[in-house]
Amino acid sequence: MNPYKVLIVDDHSIVREGLRLILETDDRFAIVAEAENGRVALQRIKELNPDVVLMDLNMPVMSGLEAMEILKNHQNQVPVIILTTYNEDELMVNGLALGAKGYLLKDTNRENLFRTIESAVRGEALFQADILAKVFEAKDRAEPAGNRTEEPSLTERELLILQFVARGYKSKEIGFDIGISERTVKAHLTNIYNKLGVDSRSQAVAIAMERGILLM
């Protein structure tokens, strides 16, 4: 199997170097390029077609969020994992709305880095519960209580499937583990999306955790 092509985007060279050193220890990953801002990142994405992008939020010239918005507007489906620190709560809320496939602290450990990248490349989303908790605290502060809608009701089977999704499992793997077909899993996911008012796995997990429906 060819290694996953990774683009690292951060305005701090020490962060890029640290991530490169970690990823180069595993032959599943290949660093195809680095970028110091969102504008350069967009150029590299167009030129190199990476499998996944590790994207900082706060950068000069063009931020990570601005770059993600342009990717979304151009319907570019490259999965983006946000590199963050604990003082960027508001930015992380916006990143979630733009379809981020995960969040990683810049000092994350090797195993979590690898697991998050692999999930993103598969089209899945993997979120650390402690980071999401901070995202939703920020979202709650920005959203008046009176504007929140009544919580949707998920069945026990739907909740179980959503728990597997949150851990990065594919539909086929979920079906095998709980004894149903992959097609049935996808049908349940469609029902979950409709109930939560979302259109992707990452948004379903995020909304369910935000509303206390799904506990990690």
Model confidence pLDDT, tens digit, residues 159-182: 899 888 877 788 888 999 999 999
Residue at 30: amino acid letter: A
pLDDT higher than threshold 80 for residue 102: yes
Q: Is 70 exceeded by the pLDDT of residue 85?
A: yes
Would you list the DSSP string of the chain? -PPEEEEEE-S-HHHHHHHHHHHTTSTTEEEEEEESSHHHHHHHHHHH--SEEEEESS-SSS-HHHHHHHHHHTT----EEEEE-TT-HHHHHHHHHTT-SEEEETT--HHHHHHHHHHHHTT--B--HHHHHHHHHHHHHHS-GGGPPPPP---HHHHHHHHHHHTT--HHHHHHHHT--HHHHHHHHHHHHHHHT-SSHHHHHHHHHHTTSS--
pLDDT at 42 over 90: yes
* pLDDT of res. 11: 96
Number of domains in the chain: 2
Whether residues 99 and 179 fall in one domain: no
pLDDT range class, residue 124, cuts 50, 70, 90: confident
For residue 77, pLDDT beyond 80: yes
- Residue 180, pLDDT score: 93
**Percent of the chain clearing pLDDT 70 (strictly above):** 84
Q: Which one has a higher pLDDT value, 138 or 114?
A: 114
Q: Shortest CA distance to 123 belongs to which of 57, 31, 213, 201?
A: 201
Task: Note whether residue 216 is domain-resident.
Answer: no
pLDDT attached to residue 60: 94
**pTM for the structure as a whole:** 0.70
pLDDT tier, 34 (very low <50, low <70, confident <90, very high otherwise)? very high
74 pLDDT band (50/70/90 cuts)? very high
Rounded mean pLDDT, 2-22:
95
Identify whether the C-beta of residue 21 lies closer than 8 Å to the C-beta of residue 47. no
Last residue in a domain, options 117, 141, 165: 141
According to DSSP, the β-strands at 102-105 and 80-84 are parallel
Average pLDDT over residues 126-150: 58
Phi, psi for 53 (deg, rounded to 5): -120, 130
**φ, ψ at 214 (rounded to 5°):** -115, 125
Domain shared by 97 and 53, yes or no: yes
Say whether pLDDT at 206 is over 90. no
Average pLDDT over residues 3-24: 96
Task: Kindly report the CATH number assigned to the domain that includes residue 113.
Answer: 3.40.50.2300
Question: Has residue 146 been placed in a domain?
Answer: no
Domain that holds residue 165: 152-210
- Within this chain, do residues 41 and 119 fall inside the same structural domain, yes or no? yes
Mean pLDDT of the chain: 85
Q: Which two tokens stand for residue 179?
A: 């004894």
